[in-house]
Amino acid sequence: MTTPLSFYPSESIARKFDQTTRERLADSLTYLADVCSEAIELPPLKLDQALDRIRTQSILPETLAAYYELVDAIQNDDFDLAESLFQEILESKPAGEALEVIPFRSPDTDRRSKRYLNQVDTDPQKPFNIFPASQDDFDRAEQLINEALDLLETESPDLFAEIKALLKRVMLGSGPTEKGLHTFDGASAPGLWGAIVLNAIEPKDAVDMAQTLAHESCHNLLFGYCIDDRLVNNSDEERHGSPLRIDPRPLDGIYHATFVLARMHYAVATIALSPTLSPELKQKAQQEMEQRKIGFYDGLSTLKNHANFTQQGKSLIDAAEAYMNDAVTNLPQTSA
């Protein structure tokens, strides 16, 4: 797969990644159905129709997550579970055009929430602490999402279009309030292609939420670039300081954080001069741009000192650096 490399938002690149993800899913399901043909009988017509639908229409994130569960079930010779998951995937409905905001519920009783949690809770040393948000917090966060999307649609249409092409679901939960427990701002995972999980109580205003949407959707974008390639060749065992985390991170994670910080800067820079923002939010936007700049160059220094880039990884981070260098020099200052 040859994909154009660009720092700037691109709806066409996002849709290309979505198409490739679905084609690979259909190819893998074809292979798995053949491997399991003696243990699981799938009606050929139903299988062919489902695979054609997956190849030609957007899927929900839950469908891809179910596929990962299917692979695990087959590897564990649990063919009863595998058959159930096959049926679920084959009967799955296409994703709609609208971005849907959904609540995180107790994973003990809500299968979708458990599925999302399983995809993002992957570090045994640092459990992903998420709880259902109160209705008031959910409603407030959903309103902020709508406000941020409206703002981006007007002031940053390319980023708005890319986000809408990348994301089908936003799941809202709440982090812990007890001291000593790790909380979160947002999360995404390759096995939840098209979805992000957000902490409903973290974003305070549309400036926060616009950056949050740019942040987490950009992780999805980078997952797309990694369908057939990597960003760095460093081992995941190698750890260094990261601009967005207090704990040492693999170079791949630091790469994500650094590129994402440039995209967050881009997002807030494009809305900073909006006539709909209050003087207070304009001032905040300016301050956020400065913080994103500091974080970006911090992460970039680590990458330049330690990363063994792939060709595409080097090209992408160079493009992000070129944007930041230009922005620092040429972006106008807002007036509060």
187 vs 335: which has the higher pLDDT:
187
Phi-psi sector, 180: left (phi>0), alpha (psi -120 to 50), beta: left
pLDDT at 201 over 90: yes
The pLDDT assigned to 93 comes to 92
What is the C-alpha to C-alpha distance for residues 336 and 332, in angstroms, rounded to an integer? 13
Model confidence pLDDT, tens digit, residues 209-265: 999 999 999 999 999 999 999 999 999 889 887 776 667 889 999 999 999 999 999
**What are the contacts of 66-69 at 24+ separation with CB within 8 A?**
66/92, 66/115, 67/25, 67/28, 67/29, 68/119, 68/191, 69/115, 69/118
Other Cβ atoms less than 10 A from the Cβ of 1: the count is: 13
Question: Phi/psi of residue 102, each to 5°?
Answer: -125, 150
pTM for the model: 0.93
The pLDDT assigned to 225 comes to 96
The percent of residues in the chain predicted with pLDDT above 90, rounded, is 85
What is the C-alpha to C-alpha distance for residues 260 and 231, in angstroms, rounded to an integer? 13
Model confidence pLDDT, tens digit, residues 103-136: 999 999 999 999 999 999 988 778 888 999 999 9
Range in 15-24, 45-54, 248-257, 323-332 the model is least confident about: 323-332
The pLDDT assigned to 35 comes to 93
Confidence category of residue 336, pLDDT binned at 50, 70, 90: very low
Domain ranges of the chain: 11-90, 97-205, 229-330
Q: Which two tokens stand for residue 198?
A: 């957000």
What is the C-alpha to C-alpha distance for residues 188 and 93, in angstroms, rounded to an integer? 22
